[in-house]
Structure 1
């Protein structure tokens, strides 16, 4: 996917095969290690998502929200709408082979409600948490933008 200039694009490479990285971003128990969990039947197009990773940044566990699954093409592409603060985050995640491992490309439409640098800092931190969860390393500390 080629992102418009106003979209935020965050990339991270992993030593893991595509299928394993896909599982880490789609299976509730694996997601719970780095960002949050979901319940429900994804085949309906909506799951209840609870973001839990904010606790490690001094925040609280968020209330569950209905995450809408717009595209799910295992093991390569997931597009979701995630309600957040009165708006919806449009997230487009692509997993592809990269050398002997894989690369995750996260694209978020930026609507101006949150500064781009704050979104970038947040997603960089979450993908660092994903890398730590994948490798068994300690979770990285939160470092705000600026």
Structure 2
């Protein structure tokens, strides 16, 4: 069973008053290694999705989510709003005509390891239950890639985390 305790996301208010789903994960690997796993297209593809394009601030990339469960999907357009290697990445992911998903990753050193803070600004009317289990699973996949561990099972993660995010 997936532990939802310290690895679960929480809803906080951003400085603009909007709801933000925030995850805090501690990794044994150094900041540079976690940064590489998040931003290198080949490493990112192992846990989240493959991207190609201009990854500099103001640039756009095409992202295809990958997983053992579905093998990927249609590409999404990602606008890179901020990129400060190896500590901060802010992007907007747009799928179709909907409101973009505003995402950020911040990395800080923690001894020889790293603290990763992942945030999604929740669009108005969007429930944490609609995103929490998925981000929980993807962040567990990142941890598995970094540690060389088996990938988490989506169905088990969903069953364990969905009640937590429904409140």
The alignment's TM-score, normalised by the length of structure 2, stands at: 0.78
Gaps of 5+ in 2: 1-11
- Residues 53-97 of structure 1: CA distance to partner in whole angstroms, max 9, x if unpaired? 2x42xx451211210000000000000000136221000110111
Larger RCO, structures 1/2 (Cα 8 Å, 6+ apart): 1
CA distance in 2, matches of 1:27, 1:105: 18
Q: What is the RMSD of the two structures over their aligned residues, measured on CA atoms?
A: 1.9
**Structure 1 residue aligned with 2:82:** 71
CA distance in 2, matches of 1:129, 1:96: 20
Which 4+ runs in 1 deviate beyond 6 A?
Answer: none
CA distance in 2, matches of 1:49, 1:113: 25
1:89 aligns with 2:101: yes
The alignment's TM-score, normalised by the length of structure 1, stands at: 0.88
Answer yes or no: is the 8 Å Cα contact 2:77–2:95 preserved in 1.
Answer: no
**Structure 2 residue aligned with 1:26:** 39
Gaps of 5+ in 1: none
Deviates more, 1:44-53 or 1:12-21: 44-53
